[in-house]
Amino acid sequence: MHVRRTIENNEEAEIRPSKTYQSFIAAVGGHRELSFIEKNVRNYIMREVQNISKLEDAKEFEKYLLRMKEKNPNFFFEHELEVDQSIKIAFWADARSRVACEYFGDVISFNTTYNTNMYNLVFDSFVGVNHHGRSTLLGCALMKNEDIQSFK
């Protein structure tokens, strides 16, 4: 429990895992006295600590979308959460993008080539072309799966 708490506290303080591991080595007097390696520290952070952060990040993202809606009633968003409260699907478009969609939404490019590793969500952009021939952002989405139901 002491080791876990130390790892969690150091991660929160943004201390690198290698430094955390070195502190354990110094505390016990050498590598041979530890029953784990640096990779175990990194795995614990990825599996336990960052998983908690991901769920907190999903809650903060939802709060952000609600604040944007409060600031501007023309801001639009919809989202769906998984059972564990992580993001399944989120779509949003600010007021400017919604107006641009009315004018330049005849042809819309939907791009799903951006994949974020940390959250395993695909970032999708909806892009139109304005009267100057320049791309204009019409909306954004995050999706956990690229299946037909998610696209609907």
CA distances (Å), origin 135, targets 111, 129, 132, 146: 13, 5, 9, 24
Section 139-149 average pLDDT = 83
Q: Whole-angstrom Cα distance, residue 79 to residue 61?
A: 10
Section 15-44 average pLDDT = 88
Q: What is the pLDDT of residues 72-112, one digit of tens each?
A: 999 999 998 888 778 888 999 988 888 887 877 777 787 77
Please tell me the predicted confidence (pLDDT) of residue 64. Answer: 92
Q: What is the pLDDT of residues 49-67, one digit of tens each?
A: 666 666 777 888 889 999 9
- Domain parsing of the chain, residue ranges: 1-63, 72-152
For residue 117, pLDDT over 60 is answered with: no
For residue 152, pLDDT over 80 is answered with: no
- Whole-prediction pTM value? 0.60
